[in-house]
Amino acid sequence: MDKSAQDWVDQIKGGRGMSRPGDDLDGLVASLASRVREYKVFLSKSTGAEQATKGRFQRARVIKAAQQIISAVRPPTDQWLEHGHHAVIFTAVRLYIKWRVFPAIPIDGQVGMDALAEKTGVDVALLTRIAWVLVGAGILSQKENQLAHTPRSEVYATVNPFAAMTQMVFDDLLTGFVAMPKYFELHGRKEPTDKQLSITAFAEGAPGLSFWEVMNRDPERMKNFMTCMGTIDAMIPITGSYHFGWVGERAKSPNCPRDRMLLVDVGGAQGKAIMAICGETPGIDRTRCVLQDLPEVIQEARLQNYPGLDGIRMVEADFFHEQPVKGALVYYIRRCVHCYNDNDCVTILRNQAEAMADDSRLLITEKIIEDIPPVEVAMIDFYMLCLGGKERTIEGFEMITSRAGLKIIGVHGGKGMPISVIECMKV
Ligand SMILES: C[S@@+](CC[C@H](N)C(=O)[O-])C[C@H]1O[C@@H](n2cnc3c(N)ncnc32)[C@H](O)[C@@H]1O
């Protein structure tokens, strides 16, 4: 039955709004204390490198325990406030990044509101109202009329990948989020099924364009997006979960023709992965390896002329069309499939299957998510929805590969890993 506002107020006054399992505040506090102790032990015993790789996971446990306390204390009726707060703080940060207000505040000191307004060309009344949001949220600090940084605002004071990420989520994804209710009313309450029907394009008044076509219209925006992709990529290992040693061995065998290609990196961008694989795998003849991507990307790779690409063939090809290199030993496709919906993935994968020989392998290199994934993974999947893409469970990969005429013969890495290799053959 629908409830009136008064019903809710009565329920909260009666304490009934908080009658949930999370109400055991003493237990939640004890759990937080125990997580904090574990975190401190981790910090004292780990190296800098371990803190960089495993620290996020350790921190997530502390944050989750702290959030459980907040959830238990905050009445459910106040959630709208919380949602609104996030949106307001995010917008305030984005405006200060755009107007370069953060870099105009001294790192070791403070600045008066008038002086800051003059430095940044922002009206002082407007600048002050936005500052109040950021001060209230603990991102900046203010004493009387003087504004100063906190560690949370300092990350925005320089041009860096973290500021770029904030910018990307706001500029490239938020418009899509806002447009989703209307998009799904128009296209039906289902996942996008065509890359040309991206939510971002719909949101930006350019229906019929893919996300990438929208981005390509603005080089500055694309540049920022690529900075972000590079940052994410730097956190994901390339080699380690799959052993390519057998490729070098097979290449030497008498029944492997000398003109057979060994490795094709499909959608390989500037060749980081193929360089790493060739660099770490003895016996792989580079002249039998191919870096393949769209023409503009391959032209850029040729211009860059990285020494690690010496000898590697560069081929311009669209993975939505017939593939030019037939019968290679390995087709490798890394972090491309998650950019597309199921139907488009089936087209991409079927094109690979049609180029493959009976003994060729296709290595789909992607994150395999859990059912139910951790919240940060679910959020990234939601970002991918805006782009028209999707993170997948192993069942999701089984579905698109089987529709494409492939069978999975091995999974290297697995659930919870930043990236895994799904090894396939033709059916
Ligand atoms: C997220 S990046 C992954 C790049 C690289 N595989 C890696 O792991 O770093 C996706 C790549 O797919 C390429 N791509 C997008 N559409 C393509 C198409 N239709 N045909 C071939 N490559 C495409 C992009 O140019 C880009 O290099």
* Ligand 1 center from residue 180 Cα (angstroms): 26
Q: What CATH number should be reported for the domain whose range is 80-156?
A: 1.10.10.10
Q: E strands along 187-329, which residues?
A: 263-266, 289-293, 313-316
* Ligand 1 center from residue 268 Cα (angstroms): 6
Compute the average pLDDT of residues 323-348. 97
Q: Is the pLDDT of residue 427 over 50?
A: yes
* Ligand 1 center from residue 215 Cα (angstroms): 14
Query: Ligand 1 atom 3: the closest Cα is on which residue?
Result: 335
Query: Ligand 1 atom 10: the closest Cα is on which residue?
Result: 336
Residue of 154, 157, 116, 152 lying closest to 137 (CA atoms) = 152
Question: How many angstroms separate the CA atoms of 308 and 289, rounded?
Answer: 12
Query: Ligand 1 atom 18: the closest Cα is on which residue?
Result: 318
pLDDT at 141: 98
Whether 281 and 245 have beta carbons less than 8 Å apart is answered as: yes
CA 78 to chain centre: 30
pLDDT at 15: 55
CB 319 less than 6 A from any atom of ligand 1: yes
Whether 229 and 235 have beta carbons less than 8 Å apart is answered as: no
Residue ranges of the chain assigned to CATH 1.10.10.10: 80-156
251-257-258-260 Cα dihedral, nearest 10 degrees: -80
Compute the average pLDDT of residues 333-359. 97
pLDDT band at 392 (very low <50, low <70, confident <90, very high): very high
Instruction: Reply yes or no: is the peptide bond before residue 372 cis, omega within 30 of 0.
Output: yes
Residue of 424, 292, 284 lying closest to 364 (CA atoms) = 424
Pairing of strands 361-366, 420-426: antiparallel
Which of 208-212, 262-266, 360-364 has the weakest average pLDDT?
208-212
pLDDT band at 23 (very low <50, low <70, confident <90, very high): low
CB 293 less than 6 A from any atom of ligand 1: yes
Query: Ligand 1 atom 14: the closest Cα is on which residue?
Result: 267
Task: For the chain, give the mean pLDDT.
Answer: 91
CA 254 to chain centre: 44
pLDDT at 140: 98
261 or 236, which is more confident: 261
Question: How many angstroms separate the CA atoms of 424 and 412, rounded?
Answer: 11
Q: Is the pLDDT of residue 171 over 90?
A: yes
User: Whole-prediction pTM value?
Assistant: 0.85
Closest approach atom of ligand 1 to CA 270: 27
Helices (H) and strands (E) in the chain, counts: 19, 10
Q: E strands along 111-238, which residues?
A: 111-112, 140-143, 146-149
Residue ranges of the chain assigned to CATH 3.40.50.150: 237-426
Which residue among 336, 337, 421 is best mutated to probe the pocket of ligand 1, counting the most ligand atoms within 8 A of its Cβ? 336
Put the strands of the sheet holding 140-143 in their side by side order: 111-112, 146-149, 140-143
Residue of 334, 336, 268 lying closest to 304 (CA atoms) = 268
* Ligand 1 center from residue 226 Cα (angstroms): 12
pLDDT at 19: 46
Question: How many angstroms separate the CA atoms of 187 and 42, rounded?
Answer: 49
CB 336 less than 6 A from any atom of ligand 1: yes
Question: How many angstroms separate the CA atoms of 214 and 195, rounded?
Answer: 12
Q: What token pair was written down for 223?
A: 């540049």
For the chain, the residue count is 427
pLDDT at 300: 87
Q: What token pair was written down for 295?
A: 């023409």
Domain 237-426, architecture per CATH: 3-Layer(aba) Sandwich (3.40)
What would the pLDDT profile of 411-423 be if each residue is shown by its tens digit? 998 666 889 999 9
Q: Is the ipTM beyond the 0.95 threshold?
A: yes
Helix (H) or strand (E) holding 411: strand 406-412
CB 320 less than 6 A from any atom of ligand 1: yes
Compute the average pLDDT of residues 347-358. 98
Q: Is the pLDDT of residue 150 over 50?
A: yes
Helix (H) or strand (E) holding 330: strand 330-334
pLDDT at 415: 65
Helix (H) or strand (E) holding 302: helix 295-304
What would the pLDDT profile of 332-344 be if each residue is shown by its tens digit? 999 999 999 999 9
pLDDT at 327: 97
Whether 191 and 385 have beta carbons less than 8 Å apart is answered as: yes
What would the pLDDT profile of 45-93 be if each residue is shown by its tens digit? 998 888 877 788 889 899 999 999 998 898 888 889 999 999 999 999 9
Residue type, 342: D
Percent of the chain exceeding pLDDT 70 equals 95
pLDDT at 264: 98
pLDDT at 376: 86
Running DSSP on this structure, what letter comes out for residue 370? P
pLDDT at 160: 86
Residue type, 231: T
Compute the average pLDDT of residues 112-120. 98
CB 72 less than 6 A from any atom of ligand 1: no
Running DSSP on this structure, what letter comes out for residue 310? T
* Ligand 1 center from residue 267 Cα (angstroms): 4
Q: Is the pLDDT of residue 13 over 80?
A: no
Residue 100 neighbours by CB under 8 Å, 6+ apart? 120
Residue 279 neighbours by CB under 8 Å, 6+ apart? 308
pLDDT at 413: 87
